[in-house]
Amino acid sequence: MNEFETLKTDASEPQDADALNRQYAALERQTTLLQAALVVLSCALCVFIGIQWKQSRSELGNVRPGASQIIQNYFQREKPVIDTLQSRLGEFGRTNPDFRPILARYGVPVPSAPATATPKK
């Protein structure tokens, strides 16, 4: 006789209907309790997220004017460098036709003729 047959005969013992009803009732209570706990935790999480969202909005409102000013100052300081880079890329695209589609995709103007200074008479 192997171990599986022994377990099978032990598990197949008849149980009375009253014991099964008690087990079913206990499982039903446990399931109901777990569902109620899940609802309570979900509500608590929603309240917490709502409070955090409200605080984040107020902090963003306080920070936004200062951040906007910093970004504007940085842009004004770096604008000459960006303009120089854009003109150099345009010159490179004028001398290298394979690079022109890339410049066209990003909106960098390519000069059609080299900029030459006209001598004054």
Mean pLDDT for 96-113 is 85
Q: What is the pLDDT of residue 4?
A: 59
What tens digit of pLDDT does each residue of 66-100 get? 888 899 999 899 999 999 999 999 898 888 889 88
Q: What is the pLDDT of residue 27?
A: 96
Token pair recorded at residue 108: 């960098």
In this prediction, residue 37 has a pLDDT band, given cuts at 50, 70 and 90, of: very high
User: First and final CA of the chain: distance in angstroms?
Assistant: 119
Q: What is the pLDDT of residue 80?
A: 92
The yes-or-no verdict on residue 117 having pLDDT over 80 is no
The yes-or-no verdict on residue 114 having pLDDT over 60 is no
User: How many Å apart are CA 27 and CA 25, to the nearest integer?
Assistant: 5
Residue-range domain boundaries for the chain: 3-105
Say what the pTM is. 0.45
Q: What percent of the chain has pLDDT over 70?
A: 80
User: How many Å apart are CA 100 and CA 114, to the nearest integer?
Assistant: 15
Mean pLDDT for 4-29 is 75
